A = this chain, B = another copy of it.
């Protein structure tokens, strides 16, 4: 039941946003009552927090795996992470959109908790870029912090428009974006 509520709410939060989705809407979708909702969740915000926590901790876990792969170059790791983000749209697109858009409806305290994890995720990107630059694999003059933000923006924006069942599939898009990040778009000879 709890799981059913979470799934239904992700669907609705994605479509209408957190504050435009009422608890009534959620329980209507699964044929339950408001009483039941509040049996499982202390508040609507707590449900949102649960969604956030699950989303970001899952992402961090998978990022960890990539980071610890000793065989890969920095570029390969970066590509793997971009692939991870984009491939994830298929399964977790709705969660992700809720994550990006509705964080502000958490309480101050919860925002801090989530932001910490989100920052960790980003700093891991930054770290890889820094290492790649130090090792000579990447250009020495790039700013790892700005580059990390840029890559994340590029990859994450796909959640807003990319259709995993469309003409281009997620794996292909991941390759396209990895090349773009690593090589740029200017032609060479």
Q: How large is the interface on A (under 10, 10 to 19, 20 to 34, 35 or more residues)?
A: 35 or more
Tell whether, in the assembled complex, residue A16 and residue B184 are in contact, meaning their CB atoms are under 8 Å apart: no
B-contact bits for A138-182, CB 8 A (1 contact / 0 none) = 111011001101111111111011100000100001001100111
A67 to B5, CA, bound (A): 49
Q: A157-B153, A184-B183 in contact; A20/B143 too (CB < 8 A)?
A: no
Tell whether, in the assembled complex, residue A180 and residue B150 are in contact, meaning their CB atoms are under 8 Å apart: yes
Nearest chain B residue, comparing its CB with the CB of A186: B182
Residues of B within 8 A of A181 (CB): 180, 184-185
Residues of B within 8 A of A176 (CB): 142-143, 146-147
Question: Is chain A's interface secondary structure helix, strand, loop, or mixed overall?
Answer: helix
| Smallest beta-carbon distance A45→chain B, Å | 12
| Smallest beta-carbon distance A85→chain B, Å | 11
Nearest chain B residue, comparing its CB with the CB of A138: B185
Tell whether, in the assembled complex, residue B136 and residue A187 are in contact, meaning their CB atoms are under 8 Å apart: yes
Which of B147, B149, B173, B188 is A157 in contact with, Cβ under 8 Å?
Answer: B149
Which of B162, B183, B186 is A137 in contact with, Cβ under 8 Å?
Answer: B186
Tell whether, in the assembled complex, residue A182 and residue B185 are in contact, meaning their CB atoms are under 8 Å apart: yes
State whether the Cβ of A57 lies closer than 8 Å to any Cβ in chain B.
no
Q: A139-B187, A146-B177, A152-B157 are in contact. List 5 more A-B contacts (CB 8 A).
A: A146-B168, A149-B162, A150-B158, A154-B157, A182-B185
